[in-house]
Chains A and B, each alone.
Chain A
Amino acid sequence: ETGVTQSPTHLIKTRGQQVTLRCSSQSGHNTVSWYQQALGQGPQFIFQYYREEENGRGNFPPRFSGLQFPNYSSELNVNALELDDSALYLCASSLPSGTAKNIQYFGAGTRLSVL
């Protein structure tokens, strides 16, 4: 148990719809990162939030957006869903960059299926 919780655990959407995924970070962690993991692949970095600001972004289009709230919880929003968006979406929380080791602790993920 990492203390990082994600909801929902599973979700089915159709192409063109919008989806919001949620994450509660581990107590004391103010940095949240989101990753997309396709089947049989390693997680790919989407973006990171620190103190409610985006703090780095991977190679994902603008229809992937996020928010971080004052309690450090976070949302990932995906608009205009495409079939290729079907994946496991992982949230990871950590102490701020520069902290020793800065280990990222992952939630169990949300499995998104786009039909």
Chain B
Amino acid sequence: GQNIDQPTEMTATEGAIVQINCTYQTSGFNGLFWYQQHAGEAPTFLSYNVLDGLEEKGRFSSFLSRSKGYSYLLLKELQMKDSASYLCAKPGAGSYQLTFGKGTKLSVIP
């Protein structure tokens, strides 16, 4: 199966750090994606992890533990424009058809 679980909503303060977790079934692992989606807009690519560890890209970092079926997205120095849904997605075994979690709606407050 491809069950992907992530929290439904999170709230954080401008300037703070927030961690959005994602757990998935480890069978047929082929990498893990994070996308950002503002309301009414297209999902935009943030990161792709295939090996264990932390990958940093500016204010955003993504972590993966393949043995635990666990990933997180870390957002630093939060800005109001970071208010969006964050989607965790996993390609299917032997294919690149993405299965998405339901998304985590992040609200950044002043």
Binding site for B on A (CB under 8 A): 2, 4, 31, 33, 35, 40-45, 48, 55-56, 58, 90, 92, 94, 97, 101-109, 111
Q: Contact check: which of A58, A94, A97, A107 meets B42 at CB < 8 Å?
A: A107
CA distance A90 to B103 in the complex (A): 15
A-B contact pairs, 24 of them (CB 8 A): A2-B42, A4-B42, A31-B96, A33-B97, A35-B98, A35-B100, A40-B103, A42-B87, A42-B100, A43-B87, A43-B100, A44-B100, A45-B97, A48-B95, A48-B97, A55-B95, A56-B92, A90-B42, A97-B95, A101-B31, A101-B48, A103-B33, A104-B98, A106-B35
Neighbouring A residues of B35 by C-beta, 8 Å: 106
Q: Give per-residue flags for B20-64: 1 if the beta carbon is below 8 A from chain A beta carbons, else 0.
A: 000000000001010100001111110010000000000000000
Interface size class of B (residues with CB under 8 A): 20 to 34
| Interface flags, B80-110, vs A, CB<8A=1, else 0 | 0000000101011001111111110000000
User: Which residues from B are CB-within-8-Å of A92?
Assistant: 98
Residue contact A56 to B42, C-beta cutoff 8 Å: no
Q: How far is the CA of A105 from the CA of B29 in the complex (A)?
A: 21
Across the A-B interface, the 6 shortest Cβ-Cβ residue pairs: A42-B100, A106-B42, A102-B96, A97-B96, A108-B42, A42-B102
Please indicate the chain A residues that have their CB under 8 angstroms from the CB of B100 in the complex: 35, 42-44
